[in-house]
Amino acid sequence: MAVSIFFELSLIIVLAAIITGIIRLLKQPSTIGYLITGLLVSPYIFNVVKSTDTISLFSEIGIALLLFIVGLNLTPKVIKEVGPIVLLAGLGQIFFTFIIGFFIVKSFGFSLLASGYIAMALTFSSTIIIMKLLSDKRDLETLYGKISIGILLLQDLIAVLLLVIITSFSSNPGAGIITVKTIIIGIASFIGLILISKYLLPHLATFFARSQEYLFLFSIAWGFGLAVLFDYLNFSLEIGALVAGVTLSMSPYHHEISSKMRPLRDFFIILFFVLLGSQLGFDNINSLIIPSIILSLFIFIIKPLTILSFMGLYGHKKRNGFFTGLALSQISEFSFILVALGVKLGHIGSDAVSLITLTGLITIALSTYFIIYSDNMYYYMSGILSIFERKSSKSTKQSSKKYDIILFGYNRIGYDFVKTLQKLRNKFLVVDYNPDTILKLNNKKVDCKYGDADDSDFLDELNLDKIKMAVSTIPHLETNSLLINKIKKINKKAIIIVVSHDVDEAYELYNMGATYVLMPHFLGGRYVSTLIDKYGFDLGKFLNEKKKHIKHLKERKELAHEHPKTEAARY
């Protein structure tokens, strides 16, 4: 038996490596290669997968590891930062997607209960897909990335509560009391774990970190242990793994833990996608093609439009809303779990599972491309999307004042620029696409404008022909290319300083006409080497620099500025 499982697993991995290699040569995302591998090993083609239970177990481990790493990045500060818009856009999207989806599914001839199940399954988006792709794009630290993660967290919590309620009411006539009791126990457990992670784990962190192997072992034990605990409390392994990550996010070593867990996660996640691709049934596929295409179009259109609308009402720029909506335009792993539970309980038939599975494969495959090529899509759709952008009161009105310098992007690097410019008493304007940042700058009496540096029409409003200098702290090649080209056409004497985290991109920006390309990681080493050259072995002078740096770090911490976890953190 063990030899058979090993043979199947080896064959799947080898086939996945070959297919994904071909996909990569075609410059397509690896996820598509995994899904194609799943279709090839399914019973309808090569029929390789015999030990479905074992492969399913491995895929569940991958899901748990992914959600554990997601939790490591969900510090309370991040949740607090995007909380209001997450509640507004997240709950609004779930409500409207369910209502409209219900009537669409009902028109296909499904019963009221089946329509409710399927419509609810359509409301959730895939944490696995989105986190993997945002990580690959290095967009986890962007504003839209944080909002997307917040909405996913909200969706997952609602999905878990829904699964608990359905299971409880179906298994026990008096389940209402049991369900409430389960939820109360879960909340109490979560609060208790937060207190432990805040007051106990930090004191043990030094002990854990003395050995990298033990830190890795402890992390797995903590993640799997809490996953089992929450499963025992009638929640799920997934939500337990997510909570485990959140509780460790306050540890000073959460970056190290995350980096050590990623290779393990990636191996098991491959099996999740393969299993997903192998589950498409072809028995009644002809009758489901049209409904699945209609539902896929519904997800691709209604979800992004709903999120765009709510984020626009809250004051966010169309770019944030578009990228967030596009990221969420697929259905979730919880969608499959929900309809499978419905079949198990006798509420719906297997045709509902087939419909959701086919819709899931279509939306997951296409949304992968949408997320990867979202910058290109936004470029062509930017004009149309303006109808979703409110003329926000959070934006500073166009000023007749002439500015010497325009700073694009305030957070992190921009913060230091503003402090320097204030000391020099230069006339400067800060441009940022985060409405909360604009409010803070307004409160500090800093001239600012709410706008998107990727919006060509917006740039035309800034009187770029009058400036002496433009500074962009946005490390995106496309954004900086647009800025350089715009400024160079009308103001050849302007100094243009941009940020990049890639050597080849830095060369490209110089060729376009950038005056100076700031590369923070290289600059840090250069600055320290300058200190060594300047101070030599003078301990006193280095200690003075230490005091200044600690003071600076405290200021940053008060402003909730985190050092980027990836090289392409935006703003």
Q: What is the DSSP string of 448-504?
A: EEE--TT-HHHHHTT-GGG-SEEEE----HHHHHHHHHHHHHH-TT-EEEEE-S-HH
Say if domain 55-388 classifies as CATH 1.20.1530.20.
Answer: yes
For residue 423, what pLDDT is reported? 80
The model's confidence at residue 95, banded by pLDDT at 50, 70 and 90, is very high
How many whole angstroms separate alpha carbon 391 and alpha carbon 534?
A: 51
Is residue 558 predicted with pLDDT exceeding 60?
yes
211 contact partners, CB below 8 Å, separation of at least 6: none
- 451 backbone dihedrals φ, ψ, rounded to 5°: -170, 170
Crossing angle for the helix pair 127-137 and 143-171, to the nearest 10 degrees? 170
How many whole angstroms separate alpha carbon 542 and alpha carbon 130?
A: 44
- 512 backbone dihedrals φ, ψ, rounded to 5°: -75, -20
The model's confidence at residue 392, banded by pLDDT at 50, 70 and 90, is very low
Domain limits, the chain:
55-388, 405-558
Q: What is the pTM of this model?
A: 0.69
Residue closest to 18 by CA, chosen among 38, 28, 29, 33: 33
How many whole angstroms separate alpha carbon 66 and alpha carbon 60?
A: 10
C-alpha dihedral, 527 to 530 to 536 to 540, nearest 10° = -40
562 contact partners, CB below 8 Å, separation of at least 6: 75, 77, 141
Sign of the alpha-carbon torsion through 199, 200, 201, 205: positive
Can you name the residues that pair with 432 across neighbouring β-strands?
A: 450
Is residue 564 predicted with pLDDT exceeding 60?
no
Report the pLDDT averaged over residues 374-395: 75
First to last CA, the chain: 53
How many whole angstroms separate alpha carbon 219 and alpha carbon 225?
A: 10
For residue 75, what pLDDT is reported? 62
For residue 297, what pLDDT is reported? 96
409 contact partners, CB below 8 Å, separation of at least 6: 431, 432, 453, 472, 473, 474, 570, 571
The CATH code for residues 405-558 is 3.40.50.720
Helix, strand, or coil (residue 139): coil
Report the pLDDT averaged over residues 198-226: 82
Report the pLDDT averaged over residues 166-192: 65
How many whole angstroms separate alpha carbon 326 and alpha carbon 53?
A: 33
For residue 569, what pLDDT is reported? 37
Task: For residue 529, count CB atoms less than 10 angstroms from its CB and return exposed for 0-12, middle for 13-18, buried for 19 or more.
Answer: exposed
Least confident of 29-43, 110-124, 164-178: 164-178
Can you name the residues that pair with 448 across neighbouring β-strands?
A: 430
The model's confidence at residue 61, banded by pLDDT at 50, 70 and 90, is confident
